[in-house]
Amino acid sequence: MSRLRRMAAPLALVVGGGLLAVAPAAEAAPVACDTTSTAYTYVVTYQPGTRASAVDKELAAKCGTKVAYYGEIGVAIASSRNADFQQKIGVYRAYSGGKDVASAGAARSSLGAVRTLEDTQSVAAEGDLSAQQWDMKAIHAPEANKKYQGSRSVTVGVLDSGIDATHPALKAAISPSESAGCITGAPDLSPASWAPTTSDHGTHVAGTIAGKDPAAGFTGIAPGVRLASVKVVNDDGYIFPESAVCGFVWAAKHGFPVTNNSYYIDPGMFFCSKEPGDAAAYEAVRRAITYSTHHGVLNVSAAGNSGFDTTTQTTDPNRPHPVDKTCGILPKAIDGVVTVSSVGYAGTKSSFSNYGSIDVTAPGGDFAQTPPAGAGPSCPLSSTVFGGLYGSKCGTSMASPHAAGVAALLASRFRGIPPQLLSRFLTGEADPVSCPTTEATCTGPARDNSYYGHGLVNALDAVH
């Protein structure tokens, strides 16, 4: 039997009252896709619920391949070598942080900004380190630990650079089955994918939340809870939108009541919801965070280390573009995210801490606020990845896990509590901190001001 091939219908023209046959229209030639240039990863937005087959079809037609698709929120992660892939999809629907970095020749990262503030001194895991944990004393964590250390049925997702599962303070807390690498935008469950490689940042954060090492005398805020390592920071220190989307959806699907997010999404500090490219990144991350909130996750985020009022900023210090009310630092700009500023040993705002739109504050250290001899370094002490040792780091990155740890205690006491109510408990039980009379940029009452939000988190009140 011969095979029939569907052909285009012949065209005809009217000429002098008769018909003149014209050759059939040629079929469109297939698009020639670039197969040699560098491949970049994009977030691509669709209507939520769009079928995966439709996504595959569009991406293939426009020289892209699917890496992952989160149909619940209508966000695809795609890879393409074509320089015009964003234009093919639509500049308000697609964005690549990696391509932006390469195009600009930029070499900054949100964790890189934190590193400039880190006190890198390390101390051996010997003796009793509890005397050096002034940050824990500031939020009454030692007293809280005596009453309640949290529940093993609660897992805190640490979206960061990975957690060292062999560290003596963390090996009992880490939950391998709930951990994943999200660097590509698709979850990878292999242990290597969520282990730290170039940064001990996530390990330090994790120790503050739930570390415990009796031999060293080190204890975090909620050592009874579990930790999931959700790696969103690549080896260059960047956190791109696709990694964050993967991390928030992973947290939602695995029922983490709390996540900690000590970063902002790269490569820009501010993403603008109505600008080409930015719009896709903003919307993809917004959908992922909203999805996680709707599935019971309270997301806690660092305020940032630029020392400015985020509500009045008019320019992006990382990418030169105007900033207005349609722009925000992700993830903290999204509704429902708890934003944490930093205080030093003296209990006043750290010199580097952003302010303006703050929910609570917590210890993040400050080199200008020096503890007395024997009370520990200026920056909070926690676990580091190298050799099971301990070290200190400063930053709102260190403040955020203090708040996440207190939230974990609350989530342990009130199992299944919705994130909105968990947030109210966290802010409601914070200790009010008034604006310094010498600081004109601090505005608002003690219970809700631009420096400290509702106040300093309190672990002891969380377990009462």
CATH of 110-463, one of 3.50.50.60, 3.40.50.200, 1.10.260.30, 3.10.510.20: 3.40.50.200
**Lowest model confidence (mean pLDDT) among 10-24, 358-372, 444-458:** 10-24
Give counts: helices (H), strands (E), the chain: 13, 20
Architecture category of domain 40-95 in CATH: 2-Layer Sandwich (3.30)
Asked if 406 and 456 count as a contact pair (C-beta separation under 8 A), the reply is: no
Q: How far apart are CA 26 and CA 230, in angstroms?
A: 51
Q: Which amino acid is at 438?
A: T
pLDDT at residue 127 in the model: 67
Per-residue pLDDT of 283-318, as tens digits, reads 999 999 999 999 999 999 999 999 999 999 999 999
pLDDT at residue 189 in the model: 98
pLDDT at residue 384 in the model: 84
Q: Residue 220 above 80 pLDDT?
A: yes
Asked if 273 and 329 count as a contact pair (C-beta separation under 8 A), the reply is: no
Q: Which amino acid is at 384?
A: T
- Please report which confidence band the pLDDT of residue 99 belongs to, taking 50, 70 and 90 as the band edges: very high
pLDDT at residue 407 in the model: 99
Q: How far apart are CA 330 and CA 303, in angstroms?
A: 10
Buried b (16+ CB within 10 A) or exposed e, 244-281: bbbbbbbbbebebbbbbbbbbbbbbbbbbbebebbbbb
Domain with CATH 3.40.50.200 in the chain: 110-463
Mean pLDDT of 158-186: 98
pTM of the entire structure? 0.91
- Please report which confidence band the pLDDT of residue 3 belongs to, taking 50, 70 and 90 as the band edges: very low
* Mean of all residue pLDDT scores within the chain: 91
pLDDT at residue 27 in the model: 45
What percent of the chain shows pLDDT beyond 90? 86
Q: Report the length, in residues, of the chain.
A: 464
- Give the torsion sign (CA, 10, 14, 16, 19): positive
Domain with CATH 3.30.70 in the chain: 40-95
Mean pLDDT of 52-58: 98
Strands 327-328, 338-343: pairing kind: unpaired
pLDDT at residue 363 in the model: 98
Q: Residue 20 above 60 pLDDT?
A: no
pLDDT at residue 332 in the model: 98
Strands 155-160, 180-181: pairing kind: unpaired
Q: Which SS3 state, helix, strand or coil, does residue 9 take?
A: coil
- Please report which confidence band the pLDDT of residue 204 belongs to, taking 50, 70 and 90 as the band edges: very high
Nearest to 363 by CA among 330, 331, 405: 405
- Please report which confidence band the pLDDT of residue 126 belongs to, taking 50, 70 and 90 as the band edges: low
Residue 82 to residues 29, 36, 58, 64, 77, Cα–Cα distance (Å)? 17, 9, 14, 8, 15
> Using alpha carbons only, what angle is made at residue 14 by residues 12 and 16, rounded to the nearest 5 degrees?
145
Q: Residue 22 above 60 pLDDT?
A: no
pLDDT at residue 4 in the model: 30
Torsion-angle region of 432 (φ positive above 0: left; ψ -120 to 50: alpha; else: beta): beta
Strands 65-70, 18-22: pairing kind: unpaired
pLDDT at residue 25 in the model: 43
pLDDT at residue 105 in the model: 67
pLDDT at residue 104 in the model: 82
